[in-house]
A and B are shown apart, each in its own frame.
Chain A
Amino acid sequence: SQQGEEDPQALSIQEGENATMNCSYKTSINNLQWYRQNSGRGLVHLILIRSNEREKHSGRLRVTLDTSKKSSSLLITASRAADTASYFCATDAGDDKIIFGKGTRLHILP
């Protein structure tokens, strides 16, 4: 079952602009993770944010977590063509399961 739901489902922006993707979930979590997937390839782990953290940065990525709203956002600043991919959030409730959302398909236009 899919707990995380990303929105939008698809996003097209111009190169250089910022891209924001959101993820909502239903149950309590230990941490939330964001992954990138290039077409036909394995998932690449981007960033993990724990339930007691509100914001985390990694390079051009910024992730926020609002546990009261059960939502997270992934911001990619100064987008590049190589950022074109699908982005997934996944929640870990500490019960040996990781539950993925359906993903946001990001397309960076030249």
Chain B
Amino acid sequence: NAGVMQNPRHLVRRRGQEARLRCSPMKGHSHVYWYRQLPEEGLKFMVYLQKENIIDESGMPKERFSAEFPKEGPSILRIQQVVRGDSAAYFCASSPLDSTDTQYFGPGTRLTVL
């Protein structure tokens, strides 16, 4: 059973471009969480999704950021018109329906905005 997969592992964008980060949860997991980590800081919760449903987006910036977890395919975190301050590591975690207290983390995507 493969773990949580994220791609790309590294993403470089110029200011104003769009960034799309993908997260494939572990097989059988229906819950996905996205976190952002700035250098030398802890993980900051962004959004919690179930398939086709956003459960909690209290940590998402109001503009430019969106997330989805479609019925089929990976969860996508989308950042439009990226700015330098978006440079960070973005981690995704997944959990199964019957054990939402346990989160399995992916390796992260490191976004660099030039």
A residues neighboring B (CB under 8 Å): 30-31, 33, 35, 37, 39-48, 50, 86, 90, 96-98, 100
Contacts and interface: CB of A to CB of B under 8 A. Distances in A.
B59 A48 contact: no
Interface of B: 33, 35, 37, 40-45, 47-48, 56, 59, 89, 91, 100-101, 103, 105, 107-108, 110
A46 B45 CA distance: 11
B96 to A, nearest CB: 12
A35 B100 CA distance: 16
Contacts of A33: 42-43
B37 A98 contact: yes
A45 B105 contact: no
B43 A43 contact: yes
A42 B100 contact: no
Contact of B101 (A30, A37, A44, A45): A37
A41 B102 CA distance: 10
Nearest to A34: B42
Contacts of A30: 40
A40 B100 contact: yes
